[in-house]
Structure 1
Amino acid sequence: MSQSENQTPPSLYAAREPIFPKKVSGSFRSLKWIIMIVALGIYYITPWIRWDRGPQLPDQAVLVDLAHRRFFFFWIEIWPHEFYFVAGLLIMAGLGLFLFTSALGRVWCGYACPQTVWTDLFIAVERWIEGDRNARLRLHRQKKMDVRKIRLRLTKWAAWFLIALATGGAWVFYFADAPTLLVQLVTFQAHPVAYTTVLLLTATTFFFGGFAREQICIYACPWPRIQAAMMDEDTLTIGYREWRGEPRGKHRKGENADQLGDCIDCMACVNVCPMGIDIRDGQQMECITCGLCIDACDDIMEKIGKPRGLVDYLALSDEPRERAGEKPRTPWFHIFRVRTMMYTGLWALVGVGLVFALFIRPEIELSVAPVRNPTFVTLSDGSIRNTYDVRLLNKHGEDRPFRVSITGHPALRVQLEGTPYETVNVTANQMHLQRVYIVAPPNSVPARDERTDVRVWVEDLTSGARAHSDTIFNGSSN
């Protein structure tokens, strides 16, 4: 057997090497801190904001009320049949993502993505407990599990677990009254679904933020593979000015030092990267454009007396201009171009449409469903009667009297089951099902015709608001 046949074939998969980003200061790091604090504050605090809607409605400002199939957002109340508002918001979110990506690359991934926000928080806790990059590297490479390493690991994991538990707990508060649910959770009186949801989100947050980290962005998230379609050579994204930095070298006082570029190969940009990549290798799928490498490189440039911006937000289309010694075009030139303006227009169009629909939606609604079995009934006096199921929706926070009437032919008259009157009282914020009869006298035109168009009207006797729905009256056609 030959020597080559005895050799083990190389593995196609390399074991993950944990990434320990170094602490860095700068404008982009400060921006990330601000966004993290604001995002986490909104997430954790929002379920506890109170909003008075009256005695028969929940007083939680933001609530997904699955039991009553409604969504409350401050003064806005969304019913199941108005799900198009939620769909419109999702469309706006998608267009906004396209807009920011085409203008500034993966800024969503670098600053506001939940995976990034919670991973940043977990890394901050890890750094606070175990120390900065070098200390964490030494602890990771230490094979012996002594008392110190066990203590640091358990302390870190305990802190991570508390953050993950708070994350899972905050999520369920969006689906029930937060103070009430908190008491039920603590006293073990909550529904098993609540405990299951909290434990599931706790486990995923603990694993994704503490251990998986950049692997979620690289392998699980589809956006890195989609972003290429949103970007072009005019997109402002983080890059390395290779024409200024190369050839790189550390020795600045030796022979031919004047021929070296500005990059001193200090690896600062690599050491602070949460994805563990080298931005000097060019555009990469793993880059989330968080800007930490810019802060690290600018700090080094100031220390060695070189201009900032060796690593910076730049557009590939400006490379020839900069190589020729010309100034790059302004950022606004790259932001306001045809593609971004198209996304902005579509985004604004959907937003205006949603606001318009929100303000013109009726206060009362109804739907009319003819009862088809039988299609009509001939009464003892020869009258023809059709039966309808009318659903009346009262969106007010108080009971309202509704009057039902019809138009279409003067001979037709309306009757309401259970009452001799044409009015019915509808409970606040409820859908009321009312059986309605429309009757045509004997030998009248509707009684003889096979089909007669009818419009069913409902009027709120308190506010005067009206709504209608069209249907058909079926005659005997004899």
Structure 2
Amino acid sequence: MNSPNNRPDDWSAFTKVKTERADPLYESAKTVHNKRIDGPFRRFKWLVMLVTLGIYYGTPWIRWDRGPYAPDQAVLIDLANRRFYMFNIEIWPHEFYFVAGLLIMAGIGLFLVTSAVGRAWCGYACPQTVWTDLFQHVDRFVDGDRNARVRMEAAPWTIAKLSRRVFKYMIYLVIGFWTGGAWIMYFADAPTLTVDFWTGQAAMAAYITVAILTLTTVVLGGFMREQVCVYMCPWPRIQTAMMDEKSLLVTYKDWRGEPRGSVKKAQKNPGEFGDCIDCMQCVQVCPTGIDIREGPQIGCITCALCIDACDKVMADIGRPRGLIDYATLEDCEAEQAGQPARPAWKALMRPRTFAYTLIWGAIGLGLLFALGVRSHADISVAADRNPPFMLMSDGSVRNSYTIKLRNMESQPRRMEVALSGLPGGRMWTETISNDDAAPSQTFEVPADQTLSTRVYVMAPAGTEAQEFTLDLTTLDEQRESDSAATKFDAPGDN
């Protein structure tokens, strides 16, 4: 039998083929140096960035008067007391369905935006996009516009380049630090936490959270940037299922732009070239570095900056705007066939958009209705099971219960609890003598708290096991009420 060592030619051929087929699994990351551009979409991005960052950084400092018994921070996630405050709304743990409803509205809102205008969320309001845009502006502030940044990156390391890098990365760290610092302000009183943080008195969790968020903000927004959108984010893969030929997309109209040629070539050869002069402005302004002329692709976040750039070039050379524009695939086919371009707003007027809007609005109205009719006081009861009842010397029967009275107002409230459905029944508590037992008792419930107390209920001799209720009524002008059903155990109960 021949050994592989006896066939050197075959072995060398095999290794050569293997080497030639070893293609890289991914493309090496290339730094994107996008160019400054002005236009309606760029100005809209400025507006969205300023509004979203202003809301994020400024909201914890807004005060809201809820009275002397509740925190005065407008938006607060109070984990210690298990409360969520948002201006005049207070959400308790048992009302988590409000949070679930808001999350559902957010999801349907994303479906609505995606089906109507593609990845507009990604292009304008996604936190990754907003912070990436902010860091790119920092790059321009420190290193200059695109050409200057390209030269800086290619230049050898000198004292000047090192000092610029240190200065820029320090700004990165400041942005990341304030991002993490703003986040923890949502979980405690902002002014108090700020003082505690800088004096070293805050909880260790606060420092760890700020450190983690500082790191992630700098890494994701300052360095990874478009790679998060292309490789890490699942949303571009999911949203394709919600888009069709009627969805508005940023589109390059190739039938109008091709073949490409400079202005001089077009003047020398009339009718042979399209409107695209291959100036590369659409590529240079793109924050993810794609070429929109290659068609729809996962790197396009629909920010429409390429539209601003192309419209500016078309205006400079005297050609009509819209070579790159928001358009549906249906409209593109119609326009290519010679029909006039349809306004973008008309593409939004379709059944799917209305359906998503109606569902989104219905959920919102349902949540508002639930907020408007909810009671700010309720009662729950749990019977003691060891023992289930006690037989007294006079033949009467006593049961024990633990009741919880919830006061969801920011002021103390007096509440009356009365027996219903238990003839001859009386009740008292550990702080009330059984000589003062009565069919009803009054409790003082602190503001924004739940009062838990042990209650004894006694019924006359001969009372059989039966169901009854404890009825709660607030003794104020609101006169809110609630009831809780439970069982009274007695001898002979099976």
TM over 0.5: yes
Quick one: distance in 1 between partners of 2:308 and 2:485? 65
Choose which of 384, 399, 414 in structure 2 pairs with 1:371.
Answer: 384
Which secondary structure state, in structure 2, belongs to the residue aligned with residue 25 of structure 1?
coil
Cα distance, 1:253 vs structure 2? 4.5
Residue in structure 2 matched with residue 136 of structure 1 by the alignment = 149
Provide TM-score, normalisation by structure 1: 0.96
The code of the aligned residue for 1:455 comes to T
Cα distance, 1:257 vs structure 2? 4.0
Quick one: distance in 2 between partners of 1:249 and 1:476? 99
Q: Residue 456 in 1 paired to residue 457 in 2?
A: no
The code of the aligned residue for 1:220 comes to M
Quick one: distance in 1 between partners of 2:317 and 2:14? 51
Choose which of 45, 49, 59 in structure 1 pairs with 2:62.
Answer: 49
Residue in structure 1 matched with residue 228 of structure 2 by the alignment = 216
Choose which of 201, 205, 209 in structure 2 pairs with 1:193.
Answer: 205
Q: In 1, are the aligned partners of 2:258 and 2:275 still within 8 Å (CA)?
A: yes
CA displacement, residues 400-452 of structure 1 (integer Å, 9 cap, x when unaligned) = 22111021132322223322461121111111102122222101xxx23x4x2
Residue in structure 2 matched with residue 244 of structure 1 by the alignment = 256
Judge which range, 206-215 or 252-261, deviates more. 252-261
The code of the aligned residue for 2:405 comes to L
Once the two structures are superposed, the pairs formed by residues 180-329 of structure 1 within 5 Å of their partners are 180-250=192-262, 251-253=264-266, 255-329=268-342
Cα distance, 1:11 vs structure 2? 2.0
Choose which of 1, 5, 11 in structure 1 pairs with 2:15.
Answer: 5
Q: Residue 28 in 1 paired to residue 47 in 2?
A: no
CA displacement, residues 242-273 of structure 1 (integer Å, 9 cap, x when unaligned) = 11111111243465342111011111101111
Residue in structure 2 matched with residue 149 of structure 1 by the alignment = 161
The code of the aligned residue for 2:43 comes to S
CA displacement, residues 297-330 of structure 1 (integer Å, 9 cap, x when unaligned) = 0011111111001000000011221012212334
**How many positions carry a matched residue from both structures?**
472
Cα distance, 1:279 vs structure 2? 0.6
Quick one: distance in 1 between partners of 2:425 and 2:83? 37
Which secondary structure state, in structure 2, belongs to the residue aligned with residue 258 of structure 1?
coil
Q: Identify unmatched segments of 5+ residues in structure 2.
A: 1-8
Which secondary structure state, in structure 2, belongs to the residue aligned with residue 252 of structure 1?
helix
Residue in structure 2 matched with residue 349 of structure 1 by the alignment = 362
Residue in structure 2 matched with residue 468 of structure 1 by the alignment = 483
The code of the aligned residue for 2:446 comes to T
The code of the aligned residue for 1:159 comes to I
Choose which of 411, 425, 428 in structure 1 pairs with 2:447.
Answer: 428
Judge which range, 184-193 or 365-374, deviates more. 365-374
Which secondary structure state, in structure 2, belongs to the residue aligned with residue 273 of structure 1?
coil
Cα distance, 1:4 vs structure 2? 7.0
CA displacement, residues 155-199 of structure 1 (integer Å, 9 cap, x when unaligned) = 110111111111110110111111111111111111110000011
Quick one: distance in 2 between partners of 1:298 and 1:155? 35
Quick one: distance in 1 between partners of 2:271 and 2:258? 12
The code of the aligned residue for 2:233 comes to C
Residue in structure 2 matched with residue 16 of structure 1 by the alignment = 29
Q: In 1, are the aligned partners of 2:326 and 2:344 still within 8 Å (CA)?
A: no
Choose which of 67, 72, 76 in structure 2 pairs with 1:59.
Answer: 72
Residue in structure 1 matched with residue 118 of structure 2 by the alignment = 105
Which secondary structure state, in structure 1, belongs to the residue aligned with residue 265 of structure 2?
coil
Quick one: distance in 1 between partners of 2:270 and 2:161? 45
Judge which range, 453-462 or 306-315, deviates more. 453-462
Which secondary structure state, in structure 2, belongs to the residue aligned with residue 165 of structure 1?
helix
Which secondary structure state, in structure 2, belongs to the residue aligned with residue 336 of structure 1?
coil
CA displacement, residues 129-159 of structure 1 (integer Å, 9 cap, x when unaligned) = 00111111111122x2101110111111011
Quick one: distance in 1 between partners of 2:203 and 2:61? 20
Residue in structure 2 matched with residue 38 of structure 1 by the alignment = 51
Once the two structures are superposed, the pairs formed by residues 67-78 of structure 1 within 5 Å of their partners are 67-78=80-91
Once the two structures are superposed, the pairs formed by residues 400-411 of structure 1 within 5 Å of their partners are 400-411=413-424
Which secondary structure state, in structure 2, belongs to the residue aligned with residue 462 of structure 1?
coil
The code of the aligned residue for 1:104 comes to V
Cα distance, 1:370 vs structure 2? 1.4
Cα distance, 1:337 vs structure 2? 1.4
The code of the aligned residue for 2:215 comes to A
Quick one: distance in 2 between partners of 1:154 and 1:365? 59
Once the two structures are superposed, the pairs formed by residues 75-86 of structure 1 within 5 Å of their partners are 75-86=88-99
Q: Identify unmatched segments of 5+ residues in structure 1.
A: none
CA displacement, residues 323-342 of structure 1 (integer Å, 9 cap, x when unaligned) = 12212334343212121111
Q: In 1, are the aligned partners of 2:422 and 2:459 still within 8 Å (CA)?
A: no
Which secondary structure state, in structure 1, belongs to the residue aligned with residue 380 of structure 2?
strand
CA RMSD after TM alignment: 1.5
Quick one: distance in 2 between partners of 1:219 and 1:386? 63
Quick one: distance in 1 between partners of 2:252 and 2:408? 57
Choose which of 374, 377, 387 in structure 2 pairs with 1:361.
Answer: 374
Quick one: distance in 1 between partners of 2:24 and 2:48? 41
Provide TM-score, normalisation by structure 2: 0.93
Residue in structure 1 matched with residue 106 of structure 2 by the alignment = 93
The code of the aligned residue for 2:339 comes to E
Judge which range, 251-260 or 183-192, deviates more. 251-260
Residue in structure 1 matched with residue 185 of structure 2 by the alignment = 173
Which secondary structure state, in structure 1, belongs to the residue aligned with residue 482 of structure 2?
strand
Quick one: distance in 1 between partners of 2:242 and 2:120? 13
Quick one: distance in 2 between partners of 1:222 and 1:433? 46
Residue in structure 1 matched with residue 4 of structure 2 by the alignment = none
Judge which range, 347-356 or 429-438, deviates more. 429-438
Q: In 1, are the aligned partners of 2:135 and 2:222 still within 8 Å (CA)?
A: yes
